[in-house]
Amino acid sequence: MAPPRIRVLEAFILAIAVAVALYWQTEPGSGADALAAASRASSELVGRRIVLLIAHPDDEVMFFGPTLQLLGRRELGNELAIVCASTGDADGLGEVRARELVASAAWFGIPAARVTVVDDAALPDAMGTVWAEAELARAVGPLLAGADTVVTFDAGGVSGHSNHRSLFAYATGAHAPPGVAVWTLESVSIVRKYSAFAGLAAARARAAAGAAGQLTAWSAVGEHRLTAAAMRHAHASQMVWFRNAWLELSRYLYINDLRQERGPK
Ligand SMILES: [Zn+2]
């Protein structure tokens, strides 16, 4: 008989294999489901001009894939755009990364004309640098003028990156763009962060139930593969080996929980 420790390992591997097999049976929700979810969350998410405000090229796939795919569904009638507050030039690859963002957006049906990458000395790509709200208002504010809704990071910034957190401070602070609804992506604990699709059943239940001021976007298999493909193919300069693990294990590739921080006025 195998020692108990081996048995536990076998059971664990079997459980993972069963979970993956079950996930591969998952079908995407219908367009009517998406419309109902977005309508219950807030009429602000239907028929709107929505800007995803990110800090670096690849934030849109690393964190917001399920959101882009839900809000971009034809049935919702939204027009999606991406505004990126820096070129992601920490390693001197800013020009390359700005082009990669345009290529990535195309995977989500967002044309190049609706992707703007800000290159401003006051907004450097740097882990420990807090971007001043007044500088964001100057450099990014005019780009949000035509939007009804902004989707961005929450106070935790998913990864705690100062640039991410600065966008939350700006979007909800004294310099925030006027007349725009602000929705933010919930930062989760480190355990949940690497839980892949483990929370999918609960996420689907939340999405189906709906509630004002909340929106849960979840990805079925094909949708998850699209987000991962956008990262692999469009953001080639960022595809170091451990990113492959992120694409399979990160909850943000499968589930986004959003909440409304500010109304439209
Ligand atoms: Zn980032």
Q: What is the pLDDT of residue 4?
A: 75
pLDDT tens, position by position, 136-159: 999 999 999 999 999 999 999 999
Chain CA centroid to CA 31, Å: 20
Centre of ligand 1 from the C-alpha of residue 164, in Å: 6
Q: Which CATH class is domain 30-262?
A: alpha beta
Report the predicted TM-score, pTM, of the whole model to 2 decimal places: 0.93
Centre of ligand 1 from the C-alpha of residue 94, in Å: 13
Query: Whole-angstrom Cα distance, residue 218 to residue 192?
Result: 15
Answer yes or no: is pLDDT of 1 > 70. no
Across all residues in the chain, what is the average pLDDT?
A: 93
208 or 55: which leads in pLDDT: 55
Centre of ligand 1 from the C-alpha of residue 63, in Å: 9
DSSP state of 144: G
Query: Whole-angstrom Cα distance, residue 95 to residue 224?
Result: 27
Tokens encoding 41: 């969350």
Q: What is the pLDDT of residue 24?
A: 87
Give 155's contacts (C-beta < 8 A, 6+ positions apart): 165, 168, 169, 184, 187
The secondary structure of 52-68 as a DSSP string is: EEESSTTHHHHT-HHHH
Torsion, Cα of 228, 76, 111, 237 (10° steps): -20
pLDDT tens, position by position, 157-167: 999 999 999 99
pLDDT tens, position by position, 227-257: 999 999 999 999 988 899 999 999 999 999 9
Phi-psi region of 47 (alpha: psi -120 to 50; beta: other; left: phi over 0): left
Centre of ligand 1 from the C-alpha of residue 34, in Å: 27
Query: Whole-angstrom Cα distance, residue 119 to residue 192?
Result: 34
Centre of ligand 1 from the C-alpha of residue 159, in Å: 8
Domain ranges of the chain: 30-262
pLDDT tens, position by position, 72-124: 999 899 999 999 999 999 999 999 999 999 999 999 999 999 999 999 999 99
195-216: average pLDDT: 90
